[in-house]
């Protein structure tokens, strides 16, 4: 039994080593060169192959390779769907407060005094880097993805996002407070 287990382990190790370069090439092609995403995707596929190794062991080499590539594509599509689902939250009156969640953020009812058009107008007045960073972040992209798109370090992206939020908060707070005073007065 032990010898059979060792043989199976060695067969899987050989299989994984042989197919990892193919999977990396396909992953680089579909992930757009994001090295971390490629590594994660390939590791996920190889783990799935390991878990299914008892079945895959009896398959021919072309069928195994086809299965690996199909799983890689399916996992990539799953990640895209998940990212898209997380990013579908558009800036609107119902969720604008989430973009400003910090201890010093004004009460939610203050933001109810701002229209979506005013929010978009305020975003449009930001300097390019701040505006683009804020827009990409509100679409659900992470700091690393934004940095890659803008060609900037992750720390810089965080700083730009922080400054964008400060500028928007200052600009929108004044508008909202003025409108709330007019409504209550």
**The last residue of a domain, from among 53, 87, 121:** 87
1-51 confidence digits (pLDDT tens): 445 556 778 888 888 899 898 888 888 888 776 788 888 888 988 988 888
Domain of 22 in residue numbering reads as 2-87
The whole-angstrom separation of Cα 46 and Cα 64 is 11
**The last residue of a domain, from among 60, 87, 114:** 87
Indicate the number of domains in the chain.
2
- Whether 73 and 118 map to the same domain: the answer is no
The pTM (predicted TM-score) of the whole model is: 0.44
Indicate the DSSP class of residue 102: S
Percent over 90 (pLDDT), the chain:
6
> What local confidence, expressed as pLDDT, does residue 98 receive?
58
**The last residue of a domain, from among 62, 87, 112:** 87
pLDDT band at 82 (very low <50, low <70, confident <90, very high): confident
100 backbone φψ class: left, alpha, beta (φ>0; ψ -120 to 50): alpha
> What local confidence, expressed as pLDDT, does residue 106 receive?
43
Exposed e or buried b per residue across 73-86, where buried means at least 16 C-beta atoms within 10 angstroms of its C-beta:
eebbeeeeeeeeee
- Whether 19 and 67 map to the same domain: the answer is yes
Find the DSSP H helices in the chain.
2-31, 35-51, 53-56, 61-87, 108-111, 116-124, 128-138, 143-150, 154-184
Contact residues for 117 (Cβ-Cβ < 8 A; gap 6+): none
pLDDT band at 100 (very low <50, low <70, confident <90, very high): low
Q: What is the CATH number of the domain that holds 50?
A: 1.10.1740
Mean pLDDT across 100-125: 67
């Amino acid at each position: 039994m032990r010898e059979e287990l060792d043989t199976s382990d060695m067969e899987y190790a050989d299989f994984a080593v042989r197919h990892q370069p193919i999977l990396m090439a396909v992953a680089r092609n579909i992930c757009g060169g994001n090295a971390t995403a490629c590594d994660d995707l390939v590791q996920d596929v190889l783990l799935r192959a390991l878990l299914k190794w008892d079945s895959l062991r009896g398959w021919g080499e072309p069928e195994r390779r086809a299965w690996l590539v199909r799983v890689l594509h399916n996992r990539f599509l799953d990640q895209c769907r998940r990212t898209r689902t997380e990013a579908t939250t558009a800036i609107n009156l119902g969720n604008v407060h989430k973009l400003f969640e910090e201890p010093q953020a004004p009460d939610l009812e203050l933001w109810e005094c701002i229209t979506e058009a005013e929010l978009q107008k305020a975003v449009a007045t930001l300097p390019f880097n701040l505006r683009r960073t804020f827009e990409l972040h509100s679409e659900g992209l992470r700091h690393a993805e934004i940095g890659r798109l803008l060609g900037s370090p992750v720390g810089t992206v965080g700083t730009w996002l922080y400054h964008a939020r400060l500028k928007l908060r200052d600009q929108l707070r004044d508008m909202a407070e003025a409108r709330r005073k007019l409504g209550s007065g």
